[in-house]
Structure 1
Amino acid sequence: MPYEHLRFTRETPLTDRYRRPYRRPAYKPDNPRQFGEQMGRHFTEARQRTPREEIGGYDNRLLLKIHVREGERIPDLEALPGVELVSQEDKHVLLAFMDEEAVREVEARLTSLARDGVATGAQLFYALEAFDHWMEEDRTGPALAQLDWPETEALLLDVELWPEERYDRREAMANSFATLLEDRGVELLDRVAQPSLLMFRVRCDREFAETTLLRHRDVRTVDLPPRTGLGIHLLLTDINILPDPPATDPDAPRVAVLDSGVTTNHPLLRAAVGDAQGFVEPNRRPDDDEPWHGTLVSGLALYGDVAGQLRSGQFTPELTLLSGKVFEDNGNDQTRFVENAVEEAVRSFHEEYGCRVFNLSYGDRNKVYDGRHVRGLAYTLDRLSRELGVLFVVPTGNLSIQDLPDNPREAFPDYLFDEQSRLIDPATALNVLTVGGIASMTATRDAQRRPDAIEDLPVAVEGQPFPLTRCGPSVNQAIKPDVVEEAGNLAVMRVGGRQRHHGLGVLSLSGGFATGHPFAEDIGTSYSAPKVAHRATRLLRPLPDASHNLMRSLIGVHSRWPEGSERLFETLAERDKKQRLSQLYGYGLTDDTALFESLDNVVTLYAEDQIENDLCQFYELPVPDEFWSGSRRERSISIALAYSPEVRTTRLDYRMTRLWFTLVTARDLDEVEQAFKRNRDEGMGERQTNRWMANDARKKGTLQVSRWNFRGRIADGQRVFVVVTRQDAPWSTVQEAPESYALIAVLDDQESSQAQLYAKIRARLQDRARARARART
């Protein structure tokens, strides 16, 4: 019998997190005078070596590339007057602006160090290795470096400038650069101006790009604009045999699809479309065009399992569909940044309709993640998610058929871990749900027609990764994708070895219904994401006030790696196997059985709260004695935490705030509180027995999930606690503000038919609430 999920609350104590004292960098030169002389010479040479052909910036400050000694902490360069840290480009490279005062200060300190062997803040300089400049090769973006200049007279380029936190400086830099473009007759098509992202889309010739853009002080990178594109294969189905769908409930939750538009008069969509708008210049049409990508995605976002509804003979929409056309899918130049179109659409639908779930089945194949910064559209989504409290669902992106090795069946799945197979923008975003793909079918259309013949050999079996999916992790090894869904499959023809996928794709709605093709089939993670967006939006029926963090954590905690997936890497050590699986599956495929409502023996507890910096908060799980008693059987406790931190593109840390949870067993709350206050890790470490995902692996992301399996009872007198901890980065600007989060606990005792777990837990929570009320009076 289904029941509503139960809310639980934390215990009263708030404990200061133990803060380890700062360790100065270990390196100290044997001869400080010699070191000072050498660094002073490097600094002078770097100043004088400013490339004569470099184009000056909007002000007169010097931009230097500073190399940090390997193994050393990033020094606090901004402790020097007149120094502004612009960006940390990798673990050992910093970019900083220096005004004349800063230049004189650095020279004076290095002179003092060379003369006397001591200087104010000498330890800061010990962490440094060299000074240099941001050169043309540094400014060349990854897609431009890989694909080279297009063979066209007029180039379409995306130019990113150095981010400036101060609004006045950001405006001054942008206006100065725009004036340069105008003076040189370069066409400015669009711009993005966000606190940590400043970009221009321009149309220019190659000479201007090479002699000006790649040499301009204020330019961070120059790259090619996004590439998208899919092949659609239509299915023939008679839509006239299906009854018209009923009208959607006016109060139904809303899901917005940000894509290539939608065919609003499709017979299976028109009753559920609440609004369709266009955000692509110049005509801002809302309509989808062949190959109907937006309509395919919209069908899955609205219905979830289109094939299942078709088999049932009745389409019943439970949601209201909103459509925002934010890109073209026809290969034509798009002069507007997709970041701007997406932001306008999100703000419009959020303000007008209160929409909180947005599907964006988009991936920029020119922006394969290089393991360093998160920027571009991913940063935009992370920022909007935190600001507006909305959930974005995006795909990992797909490899192209041409990217596959000669024999993909033999190379599967190893080729999915190649550098070229990594996530593409915006899949690296941390505050969103990133969805990877898995295979669900293995028989092509020809194989179904001739079941006795071996015509096609599938690359993947059911439950294995989709052969074109992309793998994580994201920034700082954060687990991505978060979850997976059906994306189709590929097969290799027996004769010739050519790949095909007829009959192996995901079924959805086609905009070509007027020509007798109301349904279409295609493969790709573009069709995995909307099924998860559908699921997330449905959570707003039983939980209408659920935050985006709560939706993320519920989907994560109810996900599992598909059965048989671990056999892919059975020869690897357990830790390596889990790492590989998390790169492809994230936390797994979501099980709907107890996602929306709890059951008698599968109970979901949830909390939404806030935590201040350097604090620990404590939750005791209301585990009834019956959960532990009885025969030896499989039962589990699953925990999920989700939050949406402030982020910066200029930092490799990216997150200003870090939260994590720790599951421990102890006699009482006081034991846990005292242990965490003293930071006695050896006495109160996380329970490791039969733990699924280790803390070090999961805490790098903003959606964190783990599970503990139990076959017997824990030690007598022990209770189960979850501790939530917050630690901000030293450079965080939000240390004084509380951080919101959602915490989920799922108790699962499905092997006990007489568990009545829900009733027991609810009674415990009621007793606890009464006791707290008495204590307050």
Structure 2
Amino acid sequence: MEPAEANSFVEQAIANGVTVYEDRLEFPEDTVVLVETSVASLAQMTYETGSVRSVSPPGVPIDFVDGLEAEEQADWVQDVLGRTQYGPQGQQAASYVTLLDTGITLAHPLIQPALDAADRHAAVPGWDLEDHDGHGSRMAGLALFGDLRSQLQGTAAIPVPHRLESAKVIPDAGKNPYHLLGDRTQKAINAVEVEPNRLRTFALATTTDDDTPHSGAPTSWSTELDQLAVGRSGAVKQQRLIVASAGNLSPQHDGTADYLAKCDDDDEAEIESPAQAWNTIAVGALTAMNGVGGPTYGATLAEVGDLAPMSRTASWTKTWPIKPDVVLEGGNWFDDGFSTTPNQHSDLMLVTTSRNYPARSFTHISDTSAATALAAREIALLRASYPNLWPETIRALYVGSARWTDRMWSHVAPADKNRKRAYDVMFTRYGYGQPNLERAVNSASSAITLIVEDSIRPYENKGSGRKLNEMRLFELPWPTTVLRSLVGQDVTLRVALSTFIEPNPSEVARGRKNRYASHGLRFALKGADEDVPAFTQRVGRTATEDQQDDNGSDSGEWDFGYNRRSVGSIHIDTLTLPANDLAQRGVLAVYPVGGWWKDNRAVDPNRCNARFSLVVEIDATEAEVDLYTEVQQKVAPRTTIQV
């Protein structure tokens, strides 16, 4: 159509319910607009407007990776490269994704602008820095661009503000000895941290089955990840953000009906070590790929919005952390009706960069490796937006942004949706659900989100032992005037408390969470009819026993509940209540419970200091504008109370 007619066509198309994409191609005499609708609707629009010169399908065939010759793929590389806006290098770089993998190729034109040759390292000196396997280069493409299929089908500019680092932890031949898995990971991190001050998101998409079954208990490798995250291990003593894959099942199950049962199998499908580490973000896979345009026979295994067919789960429900933390796109598999095992197809996988450039520019990746690369990318973008936030805070914002999809909820009977036992299947398969980067970014800047970065001395010496020392009280800047005016309207409060524990790797600690973790932190909200002294007394009793106070005002009203949220080192829960009730509950406590710091007086008391991040959000739908205005005028002071 002519450029002058494009806007009127778009307006009329939207009015008629046609999906119109933002991407456009501008030519001197024509404008190309991408729309999605039925043939009948498009024919009617063409007739009514009289402005459409021609109609054709999108220029990129869905199976372009397998269907295009090397020269044609190289042309698509140049198209994407011409639209990509890479961020600055060196000290000005926003943040980095550091891939602990098989290495990354420097030859690929889409990777080269984001990866300096000096930023390729290896856990073992003398290892070849090239990617001879291809896995690391596939991870790199997703870590920079996400699924390249969407970029290839678009025409818009592509911002890539973050950069890459490579720390090779997987040898080109053979595999790492089991007893060196943690050591190799630490040495790879040491190698990249010759530049210690970069904002890094470490991505580890390799796992081991040598520890299976572990039933969620710590292993030597997961313990090393916990030490690295909290900053007790590594040449540089600093907190780190580490993203780890949950691991994949072998494609053994057949048919479309039983794959979830196989993924839920306690003995065969538990997430692999080291993804059970407390301080990391463990990533499983879901899928939104339904096979449209892909295999023309058989049926996909997973429904849109459900667990990806090979994603592992965590069957444990007590003591050990909720894992995976989040799930992201990992592609789908399909049953062809003939094979005894499921099948993969390129159209059910994500498109990414190939190590074999220029022979091949693009390839595919799927399952929890793909999901881990996507999570690392999103976290790097979040860190680039808020470079001054602690790793603990970024974790709270990102995991706290996750929600369960409608398809996930379909596995819970409607009558059970308000009963805490109904959440077991949700947590074990999906963790907290699918994260939303836009929600996380907006939460960090919203006036109706309280973000606290603080520390607490959880224990003090007394006699020959130690006792609980103090709690923190936060007077929340509730917009009480607006909340009281919302008569008959419910609001939702979401709390995320994130801390990095220092692990105790001794064998005796493996069966008890309070012997493995250096400390535990919990949160509680004041009741509407409680005064602050009564509230602190109630919290003090709860802290001593690390049990829910059944007589407390918040004993059963939280969605997930005290027992479910009080595992691991990130604690998330939601509370929906009348707005007027929330207006009277403006004090929240963060308090300590037991840990091996408390049990071991020999540990240096000067380092028994626990950092934590607290993120508190109010969701009040249409009333949020008024809430924002009032909260801007308030401040959230902190009070320290002796337990």
2:80 is matched with which residue?
A: 242
Quick one: structure 1 residues 323 and 684, their matched pair in 2 at CA, closer, same or farther if it must change by over 3 Å?
Answer: same
The answer on 1:368 being equivalent to 2:212 is yes
Instruction: Give a deviation string over 1:71-120, Cα, whole Å, max 9, x none.
Output: xxxxxxxxxxxxxxxxxxxxxxxxxxxxxxxxxxxxxxxxxxxxxxxxxx
Equivalent-residue separation in structure 2 for 1:759 and 1:532 (angstroms): 33
The answer on 1:429 being equivalent to 2:268 is no
Quick one: structure 1 residues 669 and 491, their matched pair in 2 at CA, closer, same or farther if it must change by over 3 Å?
Answer: same
The answer on 1:265 being equivalent to 2:107 is yes
The answer on 1:641 being equivalent to 2:497 is yes
Instruction: Pick one of 602, 608, 612 that aligns with 1:741.
Output: 612
1:594 is matched with which residue?
A: 439
Instruction: Give a deviation string over 1:138-194, Cα, whole Å, max 9, x none.
Output: xxxxxxxxxxxxxxxxxxxxxxxxxxxxxxxxxxxxxxxxxxxxxxxxxxxxxxxxx
Equivalent pairs counted in the alignment come to 523
1:462 is matched with which residue?
A: 304
Quick one: structure 1 residues 333 and 234, their matched pair in 2 at CA, closer, same or farther if it must change by over 3 Å?
Answer: farther
One-letter code aligned to 1:764: K
Equivalent-residue separation in structure 1 for 2:86 and 2:447 (angstroms): 33
Equivalent-residue separation in structure 2 for 1:710 and 1:528 (angstroms): 35
Equivalent-residue separation in structure 1 for 2:348 and 2:621 (angstroms): 33
1:212 is matched with which residue?
A: none
Q: Give me the identity figure in percent.
A: 22
Instruction: Pick one of 683, 687, 693 that aligns with 2:560.
Output: 693
Equivalent-residue separation in structure 1 for 2:184 and 2:308 (angstroms): 30
One-letter code aligned to 1:392: I
Quick one: structure 1 residues 715 and 489, their matched pair in 2 at CA, closer, same or farther if it must change by over 3 Å?
Answer: closer
| Greater Cα offset, 429-438 or 650-659 | 650-659
RMSD of aligned residue pairs (Cα, Å): 2.8
* Paired residues of 1:277 and 1:285 also in contact (CA < 8 A): no
Instruction: Give a deviation string over 1:217-251, Cα, whole Å, max 9, x none.
Output: xxxxxxxxxxxxxxxx9674432333343442232
* Paired residues of 1:369 and 1:425 also in contact (CA < 8 A): no
Residue correspondence of structure 1 range 661-676 to structure 2 within 5 A: 661-666=523-528, 667-676=530-539
2:342 is matched with which residue?
A: 499
Instruction: Pick one of 495, 520, 532 that aligns with 2:363.
Output: 520
Equivalent-residue separation in structure 2 for 1:672 and 1:606 (angstroms): 22
* Paired residues of 1:662 and 1:695 also in contact (CA < 8 A): no
Instruction: Pick one of 272, 289, 297 that aligns with 1:441.
Output: 289
The answer on 1:391 being equivalent to 2:258 is no
Instruction: Give a deviation string over 1:500-550, Cα, whole Å, max 9, x none.
Output: 2211112222212311x3222222101111211122222223322222211
Equivalent-residue separation in structure 1 for 2:239 and 2:332 (angstroms): 35
Equivalent-residue separation in structure 2 for 1:280 and 1:316 (angstroms): 31
Secondary structure, counterpart of 2:632 in structure 1: helix
One-letter code aligned to 2:570: L
| Greater Cα offset, 597-606 or 341-350 | 597-606
One-letter code aligned to 1:417: D
* Paired residues of 1:490 and 1:499 also in contact (CA < 8 A): yes
1:412 is matched with which residue?
A: 259
Deviation of 1:749 after TM superposition, in Å, equals 1.9
2:632 is matched with which residue?
A: 762
Quick one: structure 1 residues 549 and 600, their matched pair in 2 at CA, closer, same or farther if it must change by over 3 Å?
Answer: closer
One-letter code aligned to 1:242: V
Deviation of 1:683 after TM superposition, in Å, equals 4.3
Query: TM-score, normalization: structure 2?
Result: 0.75
1:317 is matched with which residue?
A: 160
| Structure 2, unaligned runs of 5 or more | 1-64, 232-237, 459-467, 543-547
* Paired residues of 2:138 and 2:353 also in contact (CA < 8 A): yes
Quick one: structure 1 residues 628 and 537, their matched pair in 2 at CA, closer, same or farther if it must change by over 3 Å?
Answer: farther
Equivalent-residue separation in structure 1 for 2:294 and 2:258 (angstroms): 24
Instruction: Give a deviation string over 1:542-570, Cα, whole Å, max 9, x none.
Output: 32222221111111211111223121242
Secondary structure, counterpart of 1:564 in structure 2: helix
The answer on 1:487 being equivalent to 2:487 is no
Equivalent-residue separation in structure 2 for 1:279 and 1:725 (angstroms): 40
Quick one: structure 1 residues 445 and 377, their matched pair in 2 at CA, closer, same or farther if it must change by over 3 Å?
Answer: farther
Deviation of 1:633 after TM superposition, in Å, equals 4.3
Query: TM-score, normalization: structure 1?
Result: 0.63
One-letter code aligned to 1:294: G
* Paired residues of 1:458 and 1:489 also in contact (CA < 8 A): yes
| Structure 1, unaligned runs of 5 or more | 1-232, 773-777
The answer on 1:619 being equivalent to 2:474 is yes
Instruction: Give a deviation string over 1:601-624, Cα, whole Å, max 9, x none.
Output: 883221111112223221222111
* Paired residues of 1:609 and 1:741 also in contact (CA < 8 A): yes
Equivalent-residue separation in structure 2 for 1:438 and 1:678 (angstroms): 41
| Greater Cα offset, 489-498 or 645-654 | 489-498
2:38 is matched with which residue?
A: none
